[in-house]
């Protein structure tokens, strides 16, 4: 039997960031990860930080995402100084290309609500698009420029979070799967097959696999997988300054000539195969907007699962009937963006019982009646 103040189940960006924040203030924390940290969606993501582009209008989700984006500069500096790892945070905006009449119509609506909310957004003519991103096709029309959006190296983020958490004293138990969980007013016990972990509080951060974890507790966490497939191209040098969004897809330049092209949205369960159809469509769309990539080497392909929820909002807060068990999951398309704010809110809940800001995301919203 191993005991700690807090047990975190799942070592993705969400679990590792919460572990880090709690250990920083002196709590003993164990992370139980059935594979290795980052093995789920967190290392497979694009790393875009797009609260504005991802929203259809004002609301709780936009507010949460804006709050998290605002935390990123200080969060990345702190992580750098505590882990020694640069997480490649960049805040040079994002560009959304307007490829057809439907895009133009949606752009008008988007500009309108941004104006109402006082959020910066600019419409660019074709020549202005090429001025800021000269490696795009000259045949394209205009675009929308979101000057405050950004990107981060999501793989580096997980590596840095693990390193910073270890410096703060977090113990990682990799290769151990949570098989059972019991809770009463005194605390929580988690079985992994290899060991039993006891603690005052458990935080469930199982990403797309959270339903299975909730089922073991007897609480319905209605998280389901939304598959995304990606292609990585290799070019000699960096090609784009910022994420380029086009027709529901995107390209993102990463350091040393890596270009990530994505990403499909497939509701097909836990099917992790990379398929010919998906790769064909990603490359076709990519080369249409950036023919200069036609000779790039295809360096990698992969698929993973976004943790989706029925209402599109994350699930953050205490599990009804099991107050010492907290859920932090269901971040869908924006878990990398939402990492700093989730860590802050969940740490506040564990340490001080603070519930402020959590109400719209409470797990209890899925309980009948
Ligand atoms: C293709 C793709 C592109 C994306 N692009 C972006 C983007 O550009 N920007 C953005 O903000 N977000 C993006 N996302 C979403 C983002 O990746 C996720 O929302 C985020 O990574 C979720 O983090 P997590 O820690 O909750 O889950 P995960 O990273 O999936 O971690 C969950 C962990 O729990 C472990 N686990 C599960 N069950 C158990 C168990 N029973 N016992 C022990 N361990 C367990 C898993 O092994 C896994 O490591 C993308 C996702 C995908 C798939």
Query: Where exactly are the structural domains of the chain?
Result: 2-76+154-222+311-366, 94-147+225-308
pLDDT of residue 248: 83
The dihedral over CA atoms of 49, 54, 58, 63, expressed in degrees to the nearest 10, equals -30
| Ligand 1 contact, 262 CB (< 6 A) | yes
pLDDT of residue 367: 86
Q: Tokens 């797309």 belong to which residue?
A: 208
Residue nearest to atom 12 of ligand 1 (CA): 334
**Sheet with 122-124, side-by-side order of all strands:** 122-124, 143-146, 94-97, 244-246, 249-254, 258-262, 224-234, 297-308
pLDDT by residue (tens digit) across 73-127?
Answer: 999 999 999 999 999 999 999 999 999 999 999 999 999 999 999 999 999 999 9
Give dist(CA 209, CA 338) in Å, integer. Answer: 18
Q: Rounded to the nearest whole angstrom, what is the distance from the C-alpha of residue 12 to the centroid of ligand 1?
A: 6
pLDDT of residue 28: 98
Tokens (6 digits) for 65? 């995402």
Instruction: Identify whether the C-beta of residue 240 lies closer than 8 Å to the C-beta of residue 252.
Output: yes
| Ligand 1 contact, 87 CB (< 6 A) | no
| Ligand 1 contact, 85 CB (< 6 A) | no
Q: Rounded to the nearest whole angstrom, what is the distance from the C-alpha of residue 225 to the centroid of ligand 1?
A: 10
| Ligand 1 contact, 39 CB (< 6 A) | yes
Give dist(CA 313, CA 331) in Å, integer. Answer: 7
| Ligand 1 contact, 260 CB (< 6 A) | no
Ligand 1 atom with the shortest distance to the CA of 330 = 26
| Ligand 1 contact, 314 CB (< 6 A) | no
Give dist(CA 74, CA 321) in Å, integer. Answer: 36
Instruction: Identify whether the C-beta of residue 18 lies closer than 8 Å to the C-beta of residue 327.
Output: no
| Ligand 1 contact, 142 CB (< 6 A) | no
CATH hierarchy code of domain 2-76+154-222+311-366: 3.50.50.60
Radius of gyration of the chain, Cα coordinates, nearest whole angstrom: 21
| Ligand 1 contact, 333 CB (< 6 A) | yes
Ligand 1 atom with the shortest distance to the CA of 192 = 42
Residue 230: exposure state from Cβ atoms within 10 A (0-12, 13-18, ≥19): buried
Phi, psi at 130, each rounded to 5°: -70, -30
48: nearest Cα among 63, 77, 64, 68: 68
pLDDT of residue 247: 86
Q: How many CB atoms lie within 10 A of CB 200?
A: 16
Q: What is the mean pLDDT of each run of 10 residues along the chain (369 residues)?
A: 97 99 98 98 98 97 98 98 98 97 95 98 98 96 97 98 98 98 94 96 98 94 98 96 94 96 96 98 96 97 98 97 95 98 98 96 87
Give dist(CA 221, CA 208) in Å, integer. Answer: 10
Residue nearest to atom 52 of ligand 1 (CA): 45
| Ligand 1 contact, 11 CB (< 6 A) | yes
Instruction: Identify whether the C-beta of residue 302 lies closer than 8 Å to the C-beta of residue 263.
Output: no
Q: Tokens 């529901």 belong to which residue?
A: 248
| Ligand 1 contact, 9 CB (< 6 A) | yes
| Ligand 1 contact, 213 CB (< 6 A) | yes
CATH hierarchy code of domain 94-147+225-308: 3.30.9.10
Ligand 1 atom with the shortest distance to the CA of 338 = 11
Q: Rounded to the nearest whole angstrom, what is the distance from the C-alpha of residue 210 to the centroid of ligand 1?
A: 10
């Amino acid at each position: 039997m191993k005991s700690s103040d807090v047990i975190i189940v799942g070592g993705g960006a969400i679990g590792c960031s919460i572990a880090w924040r709690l250990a920083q203030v002196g709590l003993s924390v164990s992370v139980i990860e059935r594979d290795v940290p980052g093995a789920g969606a967190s290392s497979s993501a694009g790393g875009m930080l797009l609260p504005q582009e991802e929203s259809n209008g004002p609301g709780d989700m936009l507010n949460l995402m804006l709050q998290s984006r605002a935390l990123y500069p200080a969060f990345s500096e702190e992580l750098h100084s505590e882990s020694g790892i640069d997480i490649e945070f960049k805040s040079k905006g994002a560009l959304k290309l307007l490829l057809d009449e439907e895009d133009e119509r949606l752009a008008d609506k988007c500009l309108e609500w941004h104006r109402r909310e006082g959020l910066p957004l600019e419409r660019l003519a074709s020549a202005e698009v090429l001025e800021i991103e000269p490696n795009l096709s000259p045949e394209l029309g205009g675009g929308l420029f979101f000057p405050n959006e950004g990107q981060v190296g999501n793989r580096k983020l997980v590596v840095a979070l693990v390193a910073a958490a270890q410096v703060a004293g977090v113990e990682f138990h990799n290769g151990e799967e949570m098989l059972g969980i019991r809770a009463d007013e005194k605390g929580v016990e988690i079985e992994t097959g290899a060991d039993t972990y006891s603690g005052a509080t458990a935080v469930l951060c199982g990403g797309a696999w959270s339903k299975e974890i909730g089922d073991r507790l007897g609480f319905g966490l209605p998280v389901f997988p939304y598959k995304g497939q990606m292609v990585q191209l290799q070019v000699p040098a960096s090609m784009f300054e910022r994420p380029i969004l086009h027709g529901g897809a995107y390209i993102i330049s990463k350091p040393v000539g890596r270009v990530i092209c994505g990403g499909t949205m497939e509701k097909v369960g836990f099917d992790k195969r990379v398929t010919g159809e998906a790769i064909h469509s990603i490359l076709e769309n990519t080369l249409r907007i950036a023919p200069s990539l036609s000779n790039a080497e295809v360096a990698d392909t992969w698929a993973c699962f976004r943790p989706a929820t029925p209402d599109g909002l994350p699930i953050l807060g205490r599990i009804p009937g099991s107050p010492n068990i907290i859920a932090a999951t269901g971040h869908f398309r924006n878990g990398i963006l939402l990492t700093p704010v989730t860590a802050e809110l969940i740490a506040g809940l564990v340490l001080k019982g603070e519930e402020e800001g959590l109400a719209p995301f409470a797990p209890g919203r899925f309980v009948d009646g």
